[in-house]
Amino acid sequence: MAGARHRAGSALNRGKPRVGLLGGSFNPAHGGHRRISLFARDALGLDAVWWLVSPGNPLKPRAGMAPLPARLGSALRMARRAPIVPTAIERELGTVYTVDTLRALRRRYPDIDFVWLMGSDNLAQLHRWRDWRRLARTMPIAVIARPGYDSLAAASPAAAWLGRYRRSAASLKHRAGWSAPALIQLRFDPDPRSATAIRRADPDWARRFAGRAVRDPLTHHPVDPDTP
């Protein structure tokens, strides 16, 4: 655990480290993921952001999904020289749904304050997620604006329920602000990049990672090249 905290850039001398969790397929990881992560880190006063590279997303089709080692490999490359820790820890935890992953991470790392980071596109469909209210009670949620989704997100059932728990980004910079439910909305210049566009422009991107063993920097475990 000490090694993981060191790599996450934790400021142990000021209490619990603060870590943002950004989940996704990262199929592949790209500069937009990096940019919103660094923006959220600055806005919320985080020590690091962990990218949770999902073994499988129940809400996304499997067709066109690159193998986990390729997606983790692309995330490791994109996170270089940044306070970002890509990890496939969900594979080790054995969790499928985000609510279970977040609760498992809180149990495993009780000395870290976590905040869940998501785009407004995910807020728009959060009510479709497994036990989403329970998820919201697990840790604060920071929502990052995405072009074309803000109006859908604002009209969503999850936004209506979370509306009473709105907080400012500044509140998370104080220890008393780390409670849940909490909804923090972050706005910055939109980033048009998307994994879908990258796959269309470079459909063979995953082949560059074929046959490579990838080691998870958080768990230290290798992710075998044959992992689907």
Cis peptide preceding 69, ω within 30 of 0: no
Radius of gyration in angstroms for the set of CA atoms belonging to the chain, rounded to a whole number: 17
pLDDT at 58: 59
pLDDT at 13: 38
Q: How far apart are the first and last CA of the chain?
A: 28
pLDDT in tens, 19-65: 999 999 999 999 989 999 999 999 999 999 999 999 876 556 666 78
At 187 the pLDDT is 85
Right CATH for 18-211 from 3.90.950.20, 3.40.190.10, 3.40.50.620, 3.60.21.10? 3.40.50.620
Convert the pLDDT of each residue in 148-205 to its tens digit: 788 899 999 999 999 999 999 988 877 655 789 999 999 876 666 777 787 777 777 7
As to burial, measured by CB atoms within 10 angstroms (0-12 exposed, 13-18 middle, 19+ buried), residue 135 is: buried
Instruction: Report how far residue 71's alpha carbon sits from residue 79's, in angstroms, rounded to the nearest whole number.
Output: 12
**pLDDT tens-digit map of 108-162:** 999 999 999 999 999 999 999 999 999 999 999 999 988 778 889 999 999 999 9
List, in sequence order, the alpha helices (H) in the chain. 2-7, 31-44, 68-78, 89-93, 98-108, 120-124, 132-136, 150-154, 157-162, 195-201
Which residues, including other chains, have CB under 8 Å from residue 164's CB and lie 6 or more apart? none
Residues 6+ apart with CB under 8 A from 196: none
Question: In 3D, which of 62, 59, 75 has the Cα closest to residue 26?
Answer: 75
DSSP β-ladder status, 48-53 and 84-87? parallel
Give the rounded distance of the alpha carbon of 105 from its chain centre: 12
Residue 99 and residue 132 in contact, taking contact as beta carbons nearer than 8 Å: yes
